[in-house]
Amino acid sequence: MYAKSPSAIRHLRSAGFLLACGTCLLGAPHTAHAAKPAPPLNPPAVLEDVASSSTAAWDRVVVLPDGRLLVELPRWAGNTGPGLALVDGDNTPHPYPDNSWNDPATPAADRLVAPSDIQLQPDGTLWVLDSGQPDPAGKPEEGGPKIVKIDSHTGQVMQTWPLNPGMLRAGSYAATMRIARGHAFIGDSGIPAMIVVRLDTNIQRRLMEHTPALTAHQPITVDGKVATNPAGHTAIINISQMDISADGQWLYFEPLCGPVYKLDTDLLVDPKVTPIELEEGPTLWYKTPPLGGITVGPDGTLYFNDVSTGSIFRLMPDRVYQKIVTDPRLHWPGGSFATGDGQLYVPASQLDRTAPLNGGHNAIQWPVHIYRINIGNLPPPKF
């Protein structure tokens, strides 16, 4: 492994040393020790259908403390209505946190223009990344890009952090976010970069622009078909998925096409870390296929939602890698959520069938569904 402390890295550099990392050196991308693949789970994990929609493509889901499902409806996929919605028992969506925050007549600074990621913390705090950009290829609305903090127990907005215009470039799209250690870590999928916001001071920094770990290097394939943009060209989506360890130390992320990288957040929160150290910081964690979501489970197991085959894989803390289910119902498994009692909620988003990823044609097969998997009772791998 590379030196964990940024100050230690700088000291070794100044002394003229390179750190051995298995067969790699500090100065080249880090690669984790190989995971041990296990045969697919047999029988596979069971999918339980818990919600559906015949009007909206749901991309991400969390389960609120009272058990209700909260879904994100990406604007770029052609959705109308609220950007966030609570889904009740008969699948009726309700604007969240209220009508005003989803009303197009409300000023952009005080509404959810185009939510792109959500994170629910164990204490019930909900964090929302608003890209402010209904069309990733267009410009964000003035005052639209922001971080929104919501108390999910009361449904009250507690605070917002507008993204400084200087944090975004022409072509930027704030796509994914995780909160930890008093900071927001935001992935720009348009012009690949990491935006780091210190929440107590609102100091914002744009880091790692065009770093290879954040940048897409291959097409997105689903059932053997390459996703294409409305012009018919291969769709390119840079960093778009992330999750973070429970202690906030490790950030897992990927360009949508894969692979998954792991980054010590020490490197992101310390403003003294150099650009070279940041570029060298990511560790290639697993060479995954294209993923619609990365989820850290209660025990630290990573769940990878493979859009290429409609599968869910798990990478366990001991680095055993196993497919737990493949099912045609899991068409583009999106941003999932793991509860503390061992339930994994997975939206089957069908995003490759939306116009922006299907050559300009919408071919969603309604309804879309959210499935639940009991990961707490999965048996250990058998070799």
For 216-264, how does the pLDDT look when each residue is reduced to its tens digit (9 = 90+)?
999 999 999 999 999 999 999 999 999 999 999 999 999 999 999 999 9
For 253-309, how does the pLDDT look when each residue is reduced to its tens digit (9 = 90+)?
999 999 999 999 999 999 999 999 999 999 999 999 999 999 999 999 999 999 999
The encoded tokens of residue 166 equal 């200087």
**Percent over 90 (pLDDT), the chain:** 89
| Alpha carbons 98 and 110: distance in angstroms, whole number | 12
| CATH of span 38-54+289-382 | 2.40.10.500
Residue 29 pLDDT grade (very low, low, confident, very high; cuts 50, 70, 90): low
Higher per-residue confidence, 60 vs 14: 60
Residue 372 pLDDT grade (very low, low, confident, very high; cuts 50, 70, 90): very high
The ranges assigned to domains in the chain are 38-54+289-382
- Read off the amino acid at residue 74: P
Distances (CA, A) of 117 to 12, 71, 241, 242, 281: 38, 10, 9, 10, 24
Assess whether pLDDT exceeds 50 at residue 22: no
For 117-173, how does the pLDDT look when each residue is reduced to its tens digit (9 = 90+)?
999 999 999 999 999 999 998 999 999 999 999 999 999 999 999 999 999 999 999
Q: What is the mean pLDDT of the chain?
A: 92
The predicted structure's pLDDT at residue 9 = 38
Nearest to 129 by CA among 157, 163, 97, 105: 163
Higher per-residue confidence, 296 vs 17: 296
The predicted structure's pLDDT at residue 88 = 86
The predicted structure's pLDDT at residue 268 = 98
Assess whether pLDDT exceeds 90 at residue 377: yes
**pTM of the predicted model over 0.85:** yes
Report strand pairing: 239-244 vs 225-226: unpaired
